Amino acid sequence: MGVKMNKAWVYILKCSDGSYYTGKKQKSLDVRIAEHQNGTFGGYTSKRRPVELVYSQGFPTYVEAIQAERQIKRWSRAKKEALIRGDFELLNRLAECRNESHFKTESSDCCEWFIPRLRSG
């Protein structure tokens, strides 16, 4: 059984103004964080430096990282902070549908992409 290598990363940065930035990167995460820290590219984080890496997760494919990034970007601040803290119970509660016109299912898809990885790691 070989060791799985991460080919892509999803990360969350906490910016100097307290906001969060979620991104993805193939290969070296350290290089990308340094680019954010240096303001190499214009954009959201360049005006909110310094930044701090508060969460990262590796994925075996870039497609999986894209899917996770898109999902996290739609999340509320509370859900992002639960993920950052590793509070998966709260994350699942926050993901539950609270609208009476919708029904709750046995399992939520909010966490499928990271909980199995954490349990197997």
Write out pLDDT tens, residues 15-62.
999 999 999 999 889 999 999 999 998 899 999 999 999 999 999 999
pLDDT one-digit tens code per residue, 97-110: 776 665 554 444 55
Whether 111 is covered by a domain: the verdict is no
Q: Count up the domains in the chain and report the number.
A: 1
**14 in Cβ contact with 51 (< 8 Å):** yes
C-alpha span between 82 and 94 (Å, rounded): 9
What is the strand order of the sheet 20-26 is part of?
Answer: 20-26, 8-14, 52-59
Does residue 34 belong to any structural domain of this protein?
yes
* Residues paired with residue 52 on neighbouring β-strands, in sequence order: 14
Kindly state the DSSP code that residue 47 receives in the 8-state scheme.
G
Tell me, yes or no, whether 47 lies in a domain: yes
Does 107 reside within a domain?
A: no
CA–CA dist 74, 12 (Å, integer): 13
Confirm whether 50 is domain-assigned: yes
The answer to whether the pTM exceeds 0.95 is no
Domain that holds residue 23: 8-97
Number of Cβ within 10 Å of residue 115's Cβ equals 13
